Chain A
Amino acid sequence: MVKKKHTLTLTSHKKTIKAGYQERLSDALLRAGLPMNLFCGGRGVCGKCRVRVVEGRLSPTTENEKTFQAVKHWDTRSRLSCQANVTGDLKISIPPESLVSSVLDPGRAGIPEFPLNPAVKTYLISFHPPTLASPLSLEEICKKSLRKKSIRFVPDVLGKASSHLKDEAEAVYAVLYKDRHVLDIGFYETVYGFAVDLGTTTIVLELVDLVTGKTVAADAFLNPQTRYGADVLSRITYASSPEKNKELQDMVIQEVNRKVSSLIKKYGIRQEAVFEFCISGNTAMNHLFLGLPVQTLASAPYHALFSTMSDLSASSIGLNGNPQARVYIVPNIKSFVGGDITSGLTAVELLKEKGRFLFIDLGTNGEIVLKKGVRFTASSTAAGPAFEGMNLSCGTLAVPGAITKIWHDGKIRFETLDGKKPSGICGSGYIDLLAVLMENGLLDKDGKLLTESKRIELAEKVFLTQKDIRELQLAAAAVKTGIGILLYENRLSPKDLDAVHIGGAFGSYLNIRNAQKIGLIPGLPISKIHFRGNTSLEGCRLFLLSYKTRNKVSEAVSRIRYLSLASHEGFQDRFIRALELG
């Protein structure tokens, strides 16, 4: 144990903490409960954990820090907490954007119609207390009342239910799972479930009334695992030992528990009334959620531990709800195409519709699924997090102040989220900007800026550089190449497609024409291109409310062919060609 002999005064938080000599500053801050934004996993490459030295000194400035100081016009007192070590007593201030905070509102898209048939249902039971003449057991009474002989009990439920035998005046309900297992007996006029979109970056919870099928409330928050890296791979790297694997699992489960309990408290719902969780996440996220090792996902031949998981009890993974609450994990397609895509395909009804469709989920990884008749081909492209604003000099997620739309009317104009002062540019903003620059002859198809300064200023400290354009070209090319190879392998051209469905990160801000102009989306008539918002969440809610869909989906998913783009022989040439904008 290193002795913590130095005192750090956080002027921004009116707080003092202790740190050891040569201790990494971010470690000391995290330990003190400050959720530093270690997006890149502490590699010093995202510049999101900046602190400012008010008094005192840190270890010498690293090359990475010097780069950020130069590019972002930070003064030399601005340091990256993941790079600097404590060498003595210190006064620092931490800007709010260096701390992890809640982001985004859950998107809402038109959902397909389906019969309400949740796995968890509640039935009113009439208790006829046992008589001396016919001393029926509680179990028999329930079966009789529910008119179902095949139902099953666990001892705990019967034990708890026995107390209700005396409450003849009250309406007592039996909560059944898949019309077979009694989860509880009690005052459950309404029961609830949660649809959980377990995103790599953002987690969205939706509290759903399982009796009416209506959404009661929703909450979106940052996946707490992001402090160990923005992308899936850095988290897999972090989960290198069973202990760290467990740490990542605990972290996300506890955060979900916290958000669940604050949401139900707000609506006056008891924890016992929560009976099911549907989890829709990519393969690595759902493996980590279950505490399963993830190493095989990150090394050739890149395989998962499961595609379809049996239903679980929530308590077995530490989720809070009714003691008998269940968990359904939306099945994965393959290691790089997970349950979130299964949900997406379900939400856009691709699993049953006839025709030729393309489904694109644009996030850190761009997953693409092509449907031709009854055949599905799925693929994943390492687009990188550029469209989420990472690795770009002024990139940001769609948070208040982010520039979401850009247009030109003789002058470049923009709009920010919530009309706040511009603080950065988000994915949809960058796409608009590239399109606008091309239209105005300031950017050529090769991605070369034709302006004298090689830099486009939008607002104070918000700008676009030549290097940003290169990053965006790479990200767009990855998606374009993926689409191109899937079409090629299925002997289709874009015009053969009946529709393109787009889900994921961009939400409603993406301008389709501009996305087509830079070549990100195939050039089809706009009427054929549909924005579906957060399809992972939409599909997840559908599974929660219509459990028969689950049986079909496992079978459908097992038929989807996975195509590895990186090992496709045409990949390199196509990728290089796809770098051209348009």
Chain B
Amino acid sequence: MDRDTLLENMKTAVIEGNKQQAEELARKAVEQKEDLLDMIENGFVPGIQKVGDMWEKGDYFLPELIASAEAMKAAMNILQPEMEKIGVKARSTGRVVIGTVEGDIHDIGKSLVSSLLSANGFDVIDLGADVKLTLFIEKAEEVKADLICLSSLLTTTMLGQKRLLNMLSEKNIRDKYKILVGGAPVTRQWSENIGADGYAENAMSAVVEAKKLVDRKG
């Protein structure tokens, strides 16, 4: 398969959320000794970008989004080890610590953001749900994160987002991280009130927002 066909097929596999196809194409690229970085950046990445557009337009919904993210992830799982072997590093968009704040066991929205961030090239450390506020900070310090993403699905646990920001300020490390908040009851106004750096209304906008924040961080 020539390069252009390969790239075109990769893009299509991600758009259609065809995991098996995405994996096969990744393997083929390895076999053919293609430039893997080129494959990712001009094949799979345009695919996931197109998925984002379709979400924006309302043509795609959560099931399609997840299938595409899964296909992307599966391809990356094949390509990354190969690239490491030859000493090429895929560009990481940024390092993210993510979780649902303590007192809140809702996982699904946060997990979705987590897999979309991975699909879009972020290194994601997903701490799960009902995560102690101190753990967010410990982990972010440990992995030198760029971004901390906080999810709350209850108006009651939203307060945890505010507390975390206060804790960071008290420790004088507030400026080390960009903080992105989200979850059904969270609004832009809330994120501004508590002094977060960004707010995302849905999983796809979380990716857009995260990219902006990391760029701004430089």
Contacts and interface: CB of A to CB of B under 8 A. Distances in A.
Interface of A: 41, 43-45, 62-64, 229, 233-234, 236-237, 295, 298-300, 382, 384, 446-449, 454, 466-467, 470, 473, 564, 566-567, 571-572, 575-577, 579-580
Contact of A300 (B63, B105, B185): B105
A64 B201 CA distance: 12
B63 A237 contact: no
B185 to A, nearest CB: 7
B208 to A, nearest CB: 16
B173 interface: no
19 contacts: A43-B185, A45-B187, A64-B187, A233-B154, A233-B155, A236-B156, A295-B156, A298-B156, A299-B103, A300-B102, A300-B104, A300-B105, A300-B130, A449-B58, A454-B58, A571-B107, A571-B108, A576-B66, A579-B61
B155 A446 contact: no
A564 B105 CA distance: 10
B61 A446 contact: yes
B62 interface: yes
Contact of A473 (B61, B104, B190): B61
Contacts of A233: 154-156, 185
Contacts of A384: 184
Contacts of B158: 237
Interface of B: 58-59, 61-64, 66, 102-108, 111, 130, 153-158, 184-185, 187-190
A63 B190 CA distance: 13
Which of the listed residues B59, B103, B155 has the most CB atoms from chain A within 10 Å of its own CB? B155
Given A44-B187, A300-B104, A564-B105, A580 B63 contact: yes
A466 B58 contact: yes
Given A233-B154, A566-B105, A566-B107, A62 B189 contact: yes
B157 A572 contact: no
Which of the listed residues A64, A299, A449 has the most CB atoms from chain B within 10 Å of its own CB? A299
Given A44-B187, A233-B185, A566-B107, A298 B63 contact: no
A466 B103 CA distance: 33
A298 B154 contact: yes
Nearest to A236: B156
Given A300-B102, A454-B58, 20 more contacts: A62-B189, A64-B188, A229-B155, A233-B155, A233-B156, A234-B185, A298-B156, A299-B156, A300-B103, A300-B105, A384-B184, A447-B61, A448-B58, A448-B59, A449-B58, A466-B58, A567-B105, A572-B111, A576-B62, A577-B63
Contacts of B130: 300
A446 B64 CA distance: 9
Contacts of B103: 298-300
Contacts of B59: 448
Nearest to A447: B61
Top 10 A-B pairs, shortest CB-CB distance: A299-B103, A298-B156, A466-B58, A237-B155, A233-B155, A234-B155, A572-B108, A300-B103, A566-B105, A300-B105
Contact of B61 (A64, A454, A470, A564): A470
B97 to A, nearest CB: 20
A41 B155 CA distance: 10
Contact of A470 (B58, B111, B154, B188): B58
